[in-house]
Amino acid sequence: MNSNTRVLFGRLMRTILHSPDTIITVAVTPIMMLLLFVYVFGGAIETGTDSYVNYLLPGILLITIASGVAYTSLRLFTDMKSGLMARFMTMPIKRSSVLWAHVLTSLVSNALAVAVVILAAVLMGFRSGADILEWLAVVGVLLLFTISLTWLAVIPGLTADSMEGATAYSYPLIFLPFISSAFVPTETMPAVVRVFAENQPVTSIVNSIRALLYQGSVGSDIWTSLAWCIGIMVIAYFIANTVFKRKLG
């Protein structure tokens, strides 16, 4: 991390630490969903597992991240509309540092929110037999998913005309896990829905995390999930930087 990125990252993190309700807000909805699905719907949902909270948690973590990256768009939108971003461009600052500071802030803030959700799940009975290497692999998948969605979030943050427009893109991302293997096995879905569910990125990512946490072995899903995350990240990174250069010269 170069000095410019470090200073800009520190500015954004101070904003979050002075207003921790950002992290709390991101974590509250997933925790409420955990409570609702485990204690209200869990008894009626057949997943073939002993613990529904164990089955549910990987998808809830992805929803947490999808909710959290919306704040990246909001922070960028605020910097753009306030003129702060334009002022940065007049300073001797490496331009890539501006966007990378927002991306790193997203990684840290979302990691904190995910940790809060995992703690809540532990209190609800979540247990895993994964060893340290498997946990590191889970962390790696979640970080890669976060950075891919964060670069996606940068685009509306730079281009939106309103605060609502900057964050609206996150709603489909939050909804996507509901049409995946996150809440129920895809085998229970109607044929057309099942085809979509089994071929969208969330299912392979959820299956990979679930396998690492509980099964001790990972099949082809891990490669599919990595391909989705890297593909989204590369495309979003290219578009975001192109938009950034066009907007700010």
Nearest-CA neighbor of 209 among 27, 52, 55?
Answer: 55
pTM score, whole prediction: 0.90
Residue 249's pLDDT is: 61
- The answer to whether the CB of 221 falls within 8 A of the CB of 208 is yes
SS3 226: helix
For residue 1, pLDDT over 70 is answered with no
- The answer to whether the CB of 76 falls within 8 A of the CB of 158 is yes
pLDDT above 70 as % of the chain: 96
174 membership: H or E segment, kind and range: helix 170-175
For residue 157, pLDDT over 70 is answered with yes
d(Cα 53, Cα 32) in Å, to the nearest integer?
A: 13
Domain locations along the chain: 3-248
Q: What is the pLDDT of residues 166-183, one digit of tens each?
A: 888 788 888 899 999 999
Task: Report, as an integer, the average pLDDT of 75-90.
Answer: 82
Q: What is the pLDDT of residues 226-245, one digit of tens each?
A: 999 999 999 999 999 999 88
Task: Give the single-character DSSP code of 189.
Answer: S
